[in-house]
Amino acid sequence: MKINVMSVMVDNQDKALRFYTEVLGFVKKNEIPLGEHSWLTVVSPEDPDGTELSLEPDEHPAARPFKQALVEDGIPFTSFAVEDVAAEYERLSGRGVRFTQPPTDMGPVTTAVFDDTCGNLIQIAAENN
């Protein structure tokens, strides 16, 4: 068994697609219209056949209060692996990304947390060698 798709709940799929592709650098893999929304996924350009990230509409009544509670408590919805957190922090900050936690050494990993503009906090992490 392996993970092939994970989801992040977003408040607007078009805005999310722009942020996750144009700002973060992911690549659109699927966009299949399903009525008002789409089955919309992105992948890492480093692993185009790897795990897909579904940009899932947060329309369920429980979704937005859940996301808001996580943000209020400073808890990231998910985490992405990077090679160098400090370098990624600088790259994304230069693109206007707002970080809620700068690069922080957490022992075995260094992490940073940013706002994805779609209602989520997202962590980036790299193992410390």
Which residues lie closer than 8 Å to 65 by C-beta, 6 or more apart?
A: none
Q: What is the mean pLDDT of residues 36-59?
A: 97
Question: In angstroms, what CA-CA distances link 95 with 10, 24, 35, 90, 120?
Answer: 20, 9, 33, 9, 18
Q: What is the mean pLDDT of residues 6-19?
A: 98
CATH number of the domain where residue 101 is located = 3.10.180.10
Q: How many folded domains does the chain comprise?
A: 1
Question: 57 is in which domain, residue-wise?
Answer: 5-127
| pLDDT of 129 above 90 | no
* pLDDT at 22 > cutoff 90: yes
- Mean pLDDT in the chain? 97
CA pair distance 5, 52, nearest whole angstrom: 5
Q: How far is residue 15's CA from residue 24's CA, in Å, rounded to a whole number?
A: 13
Check whether 16 has a pLDDT greater than 90.
Answer: yes
User: What are the pLDDT digits (tens) for 63-109?
Assistant: 999 999 999 999 999 999 999 999 999 999 999 999 999 999 999 99
Q: CA-to-CA distance for 40 and 58, rounded, in angstroms?
A: 13
